[in-house]
């Protein structure tokens, strides 16, 4: 599995911090949607699904969390603990997010509008889908 962590330029001065995402520069897709996950209670886990047609970049603006990405063959854990690192997630990765710190603010940029029918929420179904997609 490739390493999906991408560098993000952090512009920091006495007033605070700023991060920039630009299509074609550090963001490989046109952003159609952005959402934030925050206030996650200790011990909570999220995700447990894959997407058929969705590219995303996830970045922790504050605090930390972990993403486990699974392509049906192997799993890799990515620690997100800096606004300088964005996790690029393409199609067909089962994801689990865990170990959220109390102060975690996770920003996710997405290539498509919200579409419930794009989610695969059953792991067995995901394995079948991803095997067929690879053919
Ligand atoms: C993903 C990971 C990283 C909406 O109405 N619009 C939206 O754009 C999103 C993202 C969610 N929702 C609703 C759907 C659910 O009723 O918000 C609720 C919570 O969503 P979900 O349980 O899918 O949240 P996570 O944290 O498990 O997954 C989210 C994204 O949904 C998913 O695409 O890749 O973050």
Query: Which of 47, 50, 80, 98 has the most ligand 1 atoms within 8 A of CB, as the residue to mutate?
Result: 47
Which pairing describes strands 10-13 and 16-19: parallel, antiparallel, or unpaired? antiparallel
Residue pLDDT, tens place only, 55-101: 999 999 999 999 999 999 999 999 999 999 999 999 999 999 999 99
Q: How far is the CA of 57 from the centre of ligand 1 (A)?
A: 14
pLDDT tier, 118 (very low <50, low <70, confident <90, very high otherwise) = very high
Taken in order of first residue, the domains within the chain and their CATH numbers are: 5-133 (2.60.120.10)
Q: Is 127 in the pocket of ligand 1 (CB under 6 A)?
A: no
CB neighbour list of residue 17: distance below 8 Å, 6 or more residues apart? 10, 11, 83
What integer best gives the mean pLDDT of the chain?
Answer: 95
Specify the pLDDT at position 26: 85
Single out the catalytic residue among 49, 52, 76, 84: 49
- Average the pLDDT over 16-27 and give the result: 91
CA distances from 88 to 6, 8, 26, 54, 78 (A): 7, 11, 10, 11, 11
| pLDDT for 3 beyond 60 | yes
| pLDDT for 52 beyond 80 | yes
């Amino acid at each position: 599995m490739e390493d999906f962590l991408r560098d993000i330029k952090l512009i920091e001065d006495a007033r605070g911090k700023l991060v920039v995402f630009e299509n074609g520069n550090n963001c490989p897709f046109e952003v159609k949607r952005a959402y934030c996950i925050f206030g996650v209670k200790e011990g909570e886990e999220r995700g447990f699904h894959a997407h058929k047609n969705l590219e995303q970049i996830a970045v922790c603006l504050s605090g930390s969390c972990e993403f486990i990405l699974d392509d049906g063959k192997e799993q890799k854990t990515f620690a997100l603990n800096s606004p300088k690192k964005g996790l690029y997630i393409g199609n067909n990765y089962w994801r689990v997010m865990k170990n959220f710190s109390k102060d975690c603010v996770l920003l996710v940029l997405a290539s498509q509008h919200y579409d419930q029918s794009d989610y695969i929420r059953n792991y067995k179904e995901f394995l079948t889908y991803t095997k067929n997609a690879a053919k």
